[in-house]
Amino acid sequence: MIERNCNSFPLIRKIMPYTLKDVAALAGVSIATASRVINGKPGVKPATRTKILDVARELNYLPDQLAKGMKTKRTNTIGLVVADITNPFYSYTAKIIEMKARAHNYTVIVGNTNNNSTIEHDIITNLRERKVDGFIFASVELHDKPVRQLIQSGAPCITYHRHLEGYQGNFIGSDESEGVSLATQHLYDLGHRRIGFISGPRIFSTGRERLRSFLETSRTFAIESPDYLIKEGGYEITKTRTCVNEILSLPEPPTAIFAANDLMALQVLDCVLEAGYRVPDDISIVGYDDIAIASHHSIQLTTVNVHAKQCAELVIETLINIIEGLRPAGEHTKTLLKPELKVRESTAKPRK
C-alpha cells in the first residue's frame, strides 16, 4: 500500500490518510470529478470513472466524514440515549437499533443516563455538538425539559419505552394498561386477593402507568390494595430489596408480588427465596418486560412480553424516515404495541 506521510515532519513518518485531492491528482482529474465518482453520481465518462475508482482502491482511500458532514449538513449519525445499557431490555433494543441503523448506513452513538437528568442533559448537548441527524430516547422522564426542547426545536427525535407527558413527540411503546391488566387478572383468576406491588419511580411513564393500571384493575376485581402493599421501588438493587422485606414482614404478607419490571422481579424472587418462602407455592411473582433470562428453566418468571424487537425495529425505521423526509415533519406518531402475558412457573394458586 502506498503511504502518505506527514509532510510538515517527514521524519516522524506519521501516516496521513489520503484525501480526495490525492486521488484526483493521481488520477489526473479535478477534485470535483473525483468527488462525483466516489459518491456514485452520474455524468462522468466511464473511462474517467474507472481510473478514479482504481486509484481510490489503490490508495485505500477513505472519505473524511467530518468534512463531508460539514458540507452536506448530514452526519449519518444517530444518538441513542438509554437509562442503563446493562439492563437487558435496553441492550437488546440497542443492539437491534444499532444493526438496523448500520444497514441503512447510519452509525449510532450510545449514551447511558443512569436515570440522572444532569447526565442526560450533558449527553444531549454532546450529541447536538456532534450534529447527529436524529435522536432516540428510551430514558425520558415525564417532564423531561431537555428532550421537550429538543422536540420543539424540530430535531428528528423519537422516544420509546418511556414517553413524555401527553405522549409529546414521536413515541413507540407498549400498552402498559393492557399489560398490567392482563397480569393482574391472571393473578386474580388464580385466586390471589392480596397482591403486593413494587412500582418503578413515578417520574417515568412506565412507573406511573403500570402502577395506575394495577390500582384500577385491582379496584375492578375488588382486589385488596392497601397502601402498605404498594411500594415505590427504584432501579438500585437495595431499594427493591428493602421494599420486598417490608412487605414480607407484614403481619399478613400478600400471596403474590407484582414487580414493575423483570430486573426488579428478579430481586423480588431472590429476596423471597432467601426469606425462606417457596415460589410459587407460598408466594407468586410476576414481572414485566420478558427479558431473556425470565424464560430460563431456573427462573421461569411469569411476565409480560412487550415485543422489544418489533418496537426497536419500528423506532429506527420511523426515525430514519423522519430524517430522510419520507414522513411529514410536523406529524407525530404514537404507536402502542399489544403486550402479551407469558405464564410460567412463578405463579400458581395461593395456598388456602
Partner DNA sequence: CTGAAAGCGCTTACAG
Write out the residues near a second copy by the rule CB under 8 A.
14-15, 17, 62-67, 69-70, 75, 84-86, 88, 91-92, 94-95, 98-99, 102, 107-112, 114, 119, 122-123, 125-126, 128-131, 153-154, 266, 269-270, 273-274, 292-293, 296-299
Binding at 35: pick from a second copy, DNA, none (beta carbon under 5-8 Å per type): DNA
> Least distance in Å: CB of 135 to DNA?
19
Nearest to a second copy of 118, 321 (CB atom):
118
Smallest distance from the beta carbon of 72 to DNA, in angstroms?
5
Q: Is 255 helix (H, G, I), strand (E, B) or coil?
A: coil
Binding pattern for the stretch 43-82 against DNA, x by CB under 7 A and - elsewhere: xxxxxxx-----------x-xx--xx-xxx----------
Residue with C-alpha cell 466516489?
38
Q: Which residues of 140-179 are buried (b: 16+ CB within 10 A; e: fewer)?
A: bbbebebbbebbeeebbbbbbbbbbeeebbbbbbbbbbbb
Q: Which is nearer to a second copy, 75 or 261 (CB)?
A: 75
Residue 185: enclosing H or E segment and its boundaries? helix 176-190
Name 109's Cβ contacts closer than 8 Å, sequence gap at least 6. 77, 78, 79, 80, 127, 130, 132
The DSSP bridge pattern shows strands 340-342 and 303-305 to be antiparallel
Cβ 88 to a second copy, closest distance in Å? 7
Nearest distance in Å: CB 174, a second copy: 19
76 vs 117 by CB, closer to DNA:
76
What count of residues does the chain have? Answer: 352
| Least distance (Å) between residue 107 CB and a second copy | 6
Q: Which of the listed partners (a second copy, DNA, none) does 94 bind, with a CB threshold of 5 to 8 Å by partner kind?
A: a second copy
Rg, the chain, Cα only: 27
- C-alpha 303/C-alpha 265 separation (Å) is 9
Nearest distance in Å: CB 55, DNA: 13
Q: How far is the CB of 175 from DNA (least distance, A)?
A: 42
31 binds, among a second copy, DNA, none (CB under 5 to 8 A by kind): DNA
Residue 38 touches which of DNA, a second copy, none (Cβ within 5-8 Å per kind)? DNA
Residue from 30, 86, 118, 126 in contact with DNA (CB under 7 A): 30
- Pick one of a second copy, DNA, none as the site partner of residue 48 (Cβ within 5 to 8 A by kind): DNA
User: Choosing among a second copy, DNA, none, which partner's interface includes residue 130 (Cβ < 5 to 8 Å by kind)?
Assistant: a second copy
275: cell is: 426469606
Q: Which is nearer to a second copy, 61 or 188 (CB)?
A: 61
Whole-angstrom distance, CA of residue 151 vs CA of residue 105: 24
Burial class (CB within 10 angstroms; exposed 0-12, middle 13-18, buried 19+) of 136: buried
CB 80 within 8 A of CB 136: yes
Quote the CA–CA distance of 36 and 48 in Å, as a whole number.
Answer: 11
The x, y and z cell numbers of residue 295, run together, are 424464560
The CA distance from 79 to 77, in Å, is: 7
Q: Which of 16, 99, 292, 326 binds DNA (CB under 7 A)?
A: 16
Please name every residue paired with 257 in a beta bridge, in sequence order, or none if there are none.
196, 285
Residue 128 interacting entry, from a second copy, DNA, none, C-beta within 5 to 8 Å by type:
a second copy
Chain contacts with DNA (rule: CB under 7 A): 16-17, 19-21, 28-33, 35-36, 38-39, 42-49, 61, 63-64, 67-68, 70-72
